[in-house]
Structure 1
């Protein structure tokens, strides 16, 4: 399985300069995550007093310091860069140069759920019966998920339709419909089930996308860009 880092490519010097101009002009905002802090803050970037200094307009970041990961969206494109955040009296700041990386969606990336993130899953139904079978989430993408079911019964089968409810981290729960594409029976009991999404609502798809966005940010923050 590819990691998020495999989908991040540094932009050219010309693209980097263009994105930086848009950033400083206030045409796009950024989301920032600071080391050791699970919260994500939105901010704009402004020119500072010195040549390479950039202010972060969100005053909630004034007391922030340390390594920061920044996420910037322009149209349908997503970019990341890292910089050290310095405390200030009125504004926190970062320093240029900034090396900007673009998220390349060659395929639907699958994201492993971090062990420290709260998560839960429940198999609600198959095409034959209603259920309430507990499970745990292993991976998620925009096109499907992988779950671990500890129970041997009911016995799930390939190509069976299934409905699953899951919740990841701070996001609201989501119910998805899918079809079982592969099953691996485990010697220790239970099985892992790979599910491809089918016939889901726009609302459900949007909630899945939000979970994937959170995971992209999580892994980009931990990557060495």
Structure 2
């Protein structure tokens, strides 16, 4: 089947199509990243050219991917702390007139019915081409390993070393990047920080938190720490930095 790539803002997509595309995208607690909320509007406005949609022959969106431009010297130690700081660095860099040279691939999703057909790889390739066309010679990604949720007690530094007998990563999303030539750089143990009241976390997770302490939550890659006396829950999501070019 033929696919085409276009900017996501090139047209208005029907609500039902967008809902289907993102139906398995991210857990509900993703909205708890307050810093992302502060910057995401400017990201969408200023970097719309790096927000792409893969469209099938019936003009239905079947995959989506997006990124932001930053300036980076190529050293692992100077990478953003993760996804959220990449957005902050991109926005503030533009405001300060800093010339970007690096594409940060922030995410990619595929409509659930078409997973496993290579569309995620197509989306990543399209983002890399778009970044190259925009003069972004380096490409990195804070990768959210999909199977890490099965091992929330395992440090991300340990998880990122796990591999299969063929030497490829245990995690399939990391493998998707590896098949495109990306290499593991470093762990990003606090790529995002989600905060909320106890009631918000109970709504986001469908759980009850009767006492303060650490909890395994559905879809969580690490533990949620609840402090009932402060009426607050904090969850720090780990990612893995990978470099494409």
Q: Which has the higher contact order (CA 8 A, sep 6+)?
A: 2
Of Structure 1 and Structure 2, the greater helix share is in 2
Provide the TM-score with structure 2 as the length reference.
0.27
Structure of higher CA gyration radius:
1
Q: Which structure's residues are more often strand, by fraction?
A: 1
